[in-house]
């Protein structure tokens, strides 16, 4: 299996009886040399979040830290800090590098995306971006919120960060041109966008990222399937045209980049 062949990945999904499951609470898939996708088991939390660790020469950034354990979960604590530390230790060794700064940030500020931030509070060379609008604006330099965009340089890997508030006031989308990955948090799964006008504004932002990617396929590296809004075609129409998605196409059974 190629590192970036997500269609072939067997994600952990929980089990009918979690007390009999051998799945870990947190699984890691290495998408490429510098990109890691972490999946929270549904035996830990029904949310089953995906978390993303992106590495550059000077710093790494972790998007989201997951939510609390469900009542009755066989696990009490998500071993996120230990997992991230192990990933970065191996990554540094492979590169012959001594250390790297870590930024802990969020696609948005809901509890199932920020709960384990505290694990990183005493970690050296680590900055936690508070999941609040003013902190997010200041850290990423998004002075024109909710318009505009900003670049965040990991060192030879520049991410584009832009606001997509609606599901939550500090909601971000993150585009990585190197992998052509677009992270949108819960926008794809539970948009809660309200008015169609808001849908169109967010569609325009997603179109912009799709254009930078040079046209990508929904369900492979562009999270275009499964959007629910008052007028699904109003939202998806412009995106479908940009990503060259036929009007009669259906969402693939195994989306590539999972939403969190």
Tokens 């230790």 identify what position? Answer: 89
Q: Provide φ and ψ at 181, rounded to 5°.
A: -95, 135
- In the structure, what pLDDT confidence band is assigned to residue 199 with cuts at 50, 70 and 90? very low
Query: Which of residues 25 and 188 earns the better pLDDT score?
Result: 25
The DSSP secondary-structure symbol of 222 reads B
* pLDDT one-digit tens code per residue, 71-126: 989 999 999 999 999 999 999 999 999 999 999 999 988 888 999 999 999 999 99
> Pairing state of beta strands 126-128 and 101-105?
parallel
| Cβ-contact 136, 129 below 8 angstroms | yes
What pLDDT sits at residue 246? Answer: 36
Of 127, 128, 152, 131, the C-alpha closest to 141 is 152
d(C-alpha 189, C-alpha 110), whole Å: 14
Helix (H, G, I), strand (E, B) or coil at 38: strand
The DSSP secondary-structure symbol of 51 reads E
Average pLDDT, the chain: 77
Is pLDDT of 67 > 70?
Answer: yes
**Which residues, listed in sequence order, are joined to residue 218 by a DSSP beta bridge?**
222
Q: How far is CA 11 from CA 82, 85, 238, in A?
A: 20, 21, 31
What pLDDT sits at residue 21? Answer: 87
| Cβ-contact 219, 182 below 8 angstroms | no
What pLDDT sits at residue 242? Answer: 35
| Cβ-contact 156, 57 below 8 angstroms | yes
pTM of the model: 0.78
d(C-alpha 210, C-alpha 191), whole Å: 19
Exposed, middle or buried: residue 168 (CB in 10 Å: 0-12, 13-18, 19+)?
Answer: buried
Query: Which of residues 222 and 6 earns the better pLDDT score?
Result: 6
Helix (H, G, I), strand (E, B) or coil at 90: helix
d(C-alpha 232, C-alpha 254), whole Å: 20
């Amino acid at each position: 299996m190629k590192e970036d062949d997500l269609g072939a990945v067997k994600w952990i999904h929980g089990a009918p009886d979690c007390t009999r499951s051998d799945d870990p609470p947190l699984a890691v898939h290495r998408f490429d040399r510098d990109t890691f996708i972490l999946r929270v088991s549904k035996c830990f939390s029904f949310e089953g979040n995906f978390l993303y660790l992106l590495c550059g020469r000077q710093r790494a950034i972790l998007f989201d830290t997951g939510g609390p354990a469900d009542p009755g979960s066989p696990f009490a604590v998500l071993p996120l800090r230990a997992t991230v530390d192990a990933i970065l230790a191996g990554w540094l060794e492979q590169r012959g590098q001594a250390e790297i700064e870590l930024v802990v940030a969020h696609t948005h500020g809901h509890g199932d995306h920020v709960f384990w931030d505290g694990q990183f509070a005493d970690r050296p060379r680590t900055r936690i971006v508070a999941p609040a609008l003013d902190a997010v604006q200041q850290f990423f330099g998004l002075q024109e919120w909710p318009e505009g965009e900003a670049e965040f340089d990991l060192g030879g890997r520049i991410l584009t960060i832009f606001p997509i508030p609606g599901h939550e006031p500090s909601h971000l989308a993150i585009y990585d041109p190197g992998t052509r990955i677009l992270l949108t948090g819960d926008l794809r799964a539970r948009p809660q966008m309200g008015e169609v006008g808001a849908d169109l504004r967010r569609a325009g932002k997603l179109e912009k990222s799709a254009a930078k990617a040079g046209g990508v396929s929904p369900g492979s590296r562009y999270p275009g399937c499964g959007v629910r809004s008052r007028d699904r075609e109003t939202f998806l129409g412009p995106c479908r045209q940009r990503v060259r998605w036929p009007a009669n196409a259906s969402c693939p059974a195994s989306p590539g980049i999972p939403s969190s």
